[in-house]
Structure 1
């Protein structure tokens, strides 16, 4: 697929979507399949508190004033930013603000904060650009990135075979899903057999749903009872169903399940699976295919890894175990050959 150059950046609808090439109109179910952080990952800031002290030793700052870890401008990298992107002095980043501690609203209920935006801030700093954060829905980021409204997406987006047809990626975190249950439960979820006959809540159109559907096929092939998948209209309803016993399990982005395990008394993590099961995948900054930005973001991330600011951000949000040794640019051409680093699957 040739690089897409028919739309200028951040220029609204820029004509009818009907004019877009057919490949650009792949359904959002395919594009949104990794881990919509908001689909199943409830966890609002408790009582509007400014900080939350967790059992894992992390004190989560949920105030609008984040006092983010910052990085110095790297002049050599700044010079590599594509002119069309850098000419306004901003890096316009989309996020869904749907999941503590990844991307969520602060205690003022309007300021987007979280580890995803802290990583984006490091990248913007390295490139000498102002970070311009735009909150969007999980369903909308693919088309708005294609149209030029967003230059990069930092919102727990995982690399998959559908997305590489439209986007380029700069990896920055391991990608796992966590199973969570009531603290009194004795589940140990490692595979399909462990969910047989259970009620599991899951977000529609997500990679976690794909995993559960595949596991159910395994169970049916063995003559075992499949899991019953349950869908809720909001994050709060999902966790309420779990805590009240209406569901047995919830599957959500692993960092969110760890956050709840360490800040609530009633829930715990009972399993962990790579978001790309049965293969492996990574969380990555997402950019329009062929516009030249992803390789520059990759270099900025590696600079942040090298100077230690990347590790400080992950430590700040309790995500150190998902750190990568290096960022890599992933395109459609390199997707098959560039395997994700092996990670040890374990519950927290």
Structure 2
């Protein structure tokens, strides 16, 4: 691995930490489900022009021979990198205005990685719940779909980090709510995905509230993101907790919603979004090298800027496995404590 000489301390800012998941939804980190067909291509209030059309004109890159050399022979044999994505949450991964083409920042990252490895990008849209089985069976070679690392997942998969992982609290624009911690959600109705990292955070906060004799938040569950946002905008819920990039997108493209809080997906520690591979097959090292190469030549930053995600950039990638997860968890915990 190219980064083996770096100390854990220097990598604390990008450390991967425990982000417990509720079984049986091993796949859950967010619960994408909205379709973006019909979304406006006009410049948003944050200055980003979100291209939701099938014609993406993606940022492309050159092959990195050193990274390509790390690809396992069995994967390189067919000349393709088969990538699973859920196509469920704008601007991360969603269907374009033709209602069939997967687009978004995750697809752009996947393209950069494939380019760096000298492979053709082969995208497989899959349901969020299906990616673990499809990865383990070899049906897909990697998953690039806003998946966060946690203690349960590292038992079954290897990871290559590529983006910070934050969750955003959303409220209607006429709301006076501001969420900085558990006390701010006492008694509030909050939509959240079942079995997700964000649900884990809210359940922990509810325990804090109950210990203080305060009313816990009331968690509301909906089948998909579209129903979730409709409930929020119509006043049936007070807050929504979901992927921060999607919350930012809605705050900048709608007039009725705003971001009122932000929390790391690995609370009370930190975690990152990562590409997922079969455990022990060696592909994670190649993906990490490809991501680092894209970071170094600037194409990675251009992709994140294109989708308004620059604040979630990481300075480098790192392979995370069951063998080194505890060390990263410890490093992240120390970083948060400072």
TM-score, normalised by the number of residues in structure 1: 0.87
Report runs of 4+ in structure 1 exceeding 4 Å deviation. Answer: 340-344
Query: Alignment partner for residue 185 of structure 1, among 172, 175, 194?
Result: 175
Q: CA deviation at 1:341?
A: 9.9
1:112 maps to 102
Residue 157 of structure 1 corresponds to 147
- Residue 320 (structure 1) aligned with residue 289 (structure 2): no
Aligned to 1:171: 161
Kindly state the Cα deviation for residue 304 of structure 1 after the two structures are TM-superposed. Answer: 0.2
Measure, in 2, the Cα distance between the counterparts of 1:112 and 1:136. 11
**Map of 1:282 onto structure 2:** 272
Q: CA deviation at 1:37?
A: 3.2
In 1, are the aligned partners of 2:28 and 2:128 still within 8 Å (CA)?
Answer: no
Is 2:223 the counterpart of 1:228? no
Per the TM alignment, residue 28 of structure 1 is displaced from its structure 2 partner at its CA by 5.7
Superposition map of 1:1-348 within 5 A: 29-38=24-33, 42=34, 44-45=36-37, 47=38, 49=40, 51-338=41-328, 339-340=331-332
- Corresponding residue SS for 2:66: helix
SS at match of 2:176: coil
Aligned pair in 2 of structure 1 residues 276, 150: CA closer, same or farther (>3 Å)?
Answer: same
2:22 and 2:195 in contact (8 A); partners too: no
**SS of aligned partner of 1:215:** helix
Count of residue pairs the alignment pairs up: 314
Q: CA deviation at 1:236?
A: 1.7
Contact kept, 8 Å, 1:35 with 1:275, in 2: the verdict is: no
Cα distance in 1 for residues equivalent to 2:280 and 2:128: 22
Cα distance in 2, alignment partners of residues 152 and 267 from structure 1:
34
CA contact (8 A) 1:52 1:62 kept: no
Query: Cα 1:43–1:274, aligned 2, differ >3 Å: closer, same or farther?
Result: farther
Partner Cα separation in structure 1 for residue 22 and residue 204 of structure 2: 20
Structure 2 residues not aligned, in runs of 5+: 1-20
Q: Secondary structure at the match of 1:251?
A: strand
Higher relative contact order, chain-length normalized (CA < 8 Å, sep 6+): 2
1:251 and 1:315, CA in 2 relative to 1: closer, same or farther beyond 3 A?
same
Distance 1:324 1:289, change over 3 A: same
CA deviation map 1:206-230 (0-9, x unaligned) = 1011111111111111110011111
Name whichever of 89-98 and 334-343 sits farther off.
Answer: 334-343
- CA drift at 1:34: 2.2
Distance, in Å, in 2 between the alignment partners of 1:135 and 1:309 is 24
Q: Is the 8 A contact 1:37 1:156 kept in 2?
A: no
Alignment RMSD (CA, Å): 1.8
**Which sections of structure 1, spanning at least 5 residues, go unmatched?**
1-25
Structure 1 position 186, deviation (Å): 1.1
Q: CA deviation at 1:78?
A: 1.6
**How far apart, in 2, do the equivalents of 1:55 and 1:342 lie?**
37
What is the rounded CA distance, in whole Å, between the counterparts of 1:152 and 1:253 in structure 2? 21
Secondary structure of the residue aligned to 1:173 is strand
CA deviation after TM superposition for structure 1 residue 29, in Å: 3.1
Q: Deviations over 1:249-288 (max 9, x none)?
A: 0001000000000000000000000001111100000001
Q: Distance in 1 between matches of 2:107 and 2:335?
A: 24
Maintained 8 Å contact 2:22/2:196: no
Deviation, structure 1 residue 74: 1.3
